[in-house]
Structures are given as C-alpha cells and as structure tokens.
Amino acid sequence: MEDLSIKVRKLREVYGYSQESVAYQMGISQAAYSKKERGKTRFTFTCIETLAKVYELSFMELVSLSTQTLLIRAIEANKFDAAA
C-alpha cells in the first residue's frame, strides 16, 4: 500500500488547497496537519474519513487506490468543475 501522506499531499496540491484550509476542514491546526502530511504523525481513522469527504472519495478509495489513479480522478474532476 502506498504511503497515505504522499497521496493526500498530492491531492491537496492538485486541488489547489492550502494546508491551512484542509486542516480547518479536519478540525486540526495547520501544524498538526503538516506533521501528518510529512509522515511525522499518523492519520487517524476519523482523519482519513474527513479527508475522503474533502476530496469527494470513499474511505476505501482514498486508502486503496494508487496515487496515480487518485490524481487522474482529481484532474478529471477539476477539468469538469472548471468547465461548469
């Protein structure tokens, strides 16, 4: 399984979100989120559920899909959002 911290960092970058905005949606500080994204602390089950909602994914999609697949989906979703 790929490192979750890499997946969420890449997703955040593709969506153009700041660490602060994702941290706010998760109910944690930017510093705490930064540590999770850098792999210094682990994501809890609740954090993973919240991140999945932020990126409009299921828990299982976020955990099990490859980074590449997640990024392709994110790019496609952003392309359709921009066209609307």
- What is the CATH code of the structural domain delimited by 4-83? 1.10.260.40
* Mean pLDDT value of segment 74-84: 70
Q: What residue spans define the domains of the chain?
A: 4-83
Place 1 in a pLDDT band, splitting at 50, 70 and 90.
very low
The pLDDT assigned to 78 comes to 76
* 79 Cβ contact partners less than 8 Å away, ≥ 6 residues apart: none
The Cα–Cα gap between 40 and 80 comes to 35
> What are the tens digits of pLDDT across the range 14-66?
999 999 999 999 999 999 999 999 999 999 999 999 999 999 999 999 999 99
Query: To which H or E segment does residue 80 belong?
Result: helix 67-83
